[in-house]
């Protein structure tokens, strides 16, 4: 009996021992998990603080030596050419507005209008609704500000840089672009989207913020291209067509603030956009001619039948 009792007590102590060990092991694992979470949170907060500090450094380096108003280049370009002027509309941010150019012929709109007129052998009326500092959310406001009844033959949209610097989610930025494309499509305007430039080319922006900006701007550019294709618009990758020039020739391609394009930067950007813009104008002309033919055909048929 005594032996049986001692055996049960030993067994009970053994169970209690294992239960205690399991309990302390669970507590230790929980403490280790909490410590890991704490370290990760501290790292995230530290990284965020560092990025905010680097953003402040970049803003101080860049400043606003160019002001916030681009040169007004709106006019009829190559007026001496025959034919009805092609209506060219520019929407978006400071690049579309031409900030950094010192002469109106050196703005993106001026460069595009002059080159398009020469290629199409028709005058071009430039209308710039782009506003310095705009995000994608302002595209709708820019369209609202156009004159009643105004319909462009082709619109060029360049936007996205400010979305990245203001940390706007890519999906939201792309949604605003899609809304603008839909409105332009309803008007019958053909559209060319110059996708978000690679912010990794901005040397005043310190690392690792520049790497992060490059990655986010590439993601936005890819989404903008996809949105444009779905809407039937033309997408031109500014990173692929002119981005390397801004990296290899920064002194020539950037203006005084080392953030916006110089006259040469705008010229090369316009050269990259021109083929798509000319194609879009040709598509618009074909659509107008087809619509005119559909309207006049019944009348011609009825006249022939009467004869």
Dihedral of the CA atoms 139, 140, 146, 149 (nearest 10)? 130
Please confirm, yes or no, whether 94 is among the known catalytic residues: yes
Q: Which of 118, 185, 257, 271 is catalytic?
A: 257
Please confirm, yes or no, whether 257 is among the known catalytic residues: yes
Please confirm, yes or no, whether 237 is among the known catalytic residues: no
Q: Which of 74, 94, 173, 198 is catalytic?
A: 94
Decide the pairing of beta strands 190-194 and 234-236. parallel
Tens of pLDDT, residue by residue, the chain (307 residues): 545 444 555 555 555 555 555 556 665 666 665 565 554 444 333 434 444 454 444 444 444 545 678 999 999 999 999 999 999 999 999 999 999 999 999 999 999 999 999 999 999 999 999 999 999 999 999 999 999 999 999 999 999 999 998 999 999 999 999 999 999 999 999 999 999 999 888 776 777 778 888 999 999 999 999 999 999 999 999 999 999 999 899 999 988 777 889 999 999 999 999 999 999 999 999 988 888 777 665 554 555 555 5
Q: Which of 134, 136, 198, 260 is catalytic?
A: 260
């Amino acid at each position: 009996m005594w032996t049986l009792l001692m055996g049960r007590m030993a067994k009970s102590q053994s169970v209690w021992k294992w239960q205690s060990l399991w309990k302390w092991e669970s507590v230790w694992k929980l403490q280790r998990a909490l410590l890991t979470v704490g370290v990760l949170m501290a790292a995230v907060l530290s990284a965020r603080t560092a990025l905010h500090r680097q953003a402040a450094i970049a803003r101080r380096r860049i400043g606003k030596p160019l002001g916030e108003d681009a040169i007004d280049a709106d006019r009829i370009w190559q007026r001496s050419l025959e034919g009805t002027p092609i209506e060219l509309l520019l929407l978006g941010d400071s690049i579309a507005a031409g900030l950094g150019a010192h002469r109106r012929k050196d703005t993106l709109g001026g460069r595009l209008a002059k080159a398009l007129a020469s290629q199409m052998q028709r005058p071009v009326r430039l209308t710039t609704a782009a506003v310095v500092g705009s995000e994608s959310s302002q595209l709708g406001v820019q369209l609202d500000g156009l004159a009643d009844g105004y319909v462009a033959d082709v619109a060029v949209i360049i936007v996205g840089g400010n979305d990245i610097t203001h940390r706007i989610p890519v999906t939201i930025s792309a949604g605003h672009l899609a809304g603008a494309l839909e409105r332009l499509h309803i008007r019958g305007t053909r559209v060319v989207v110059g996708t978000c430039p690679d912010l990794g080319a901005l040397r005043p922006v310190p690392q690792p913020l520049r790497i992060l900006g490059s990655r986010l701007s590439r993601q936005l550019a890819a989404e903008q291209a996809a949105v444009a294709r779905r809407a039937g618009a033309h997408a031109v990758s500014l990173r692929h067509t002119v981005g390397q020039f801004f990296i290899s020739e920064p002194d020539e391609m950037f203006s005084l603030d080392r953030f916006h394009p110089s006259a040469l930067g705008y010229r090369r950007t316009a050269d990259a956009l021109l083929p798509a813009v000319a194609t879009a104008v040709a598509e618009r002309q074909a659509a107008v001619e087809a619509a005119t033919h559909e309207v006049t055909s019944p009348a011609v048929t009825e006249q022939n039948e009467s004869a």
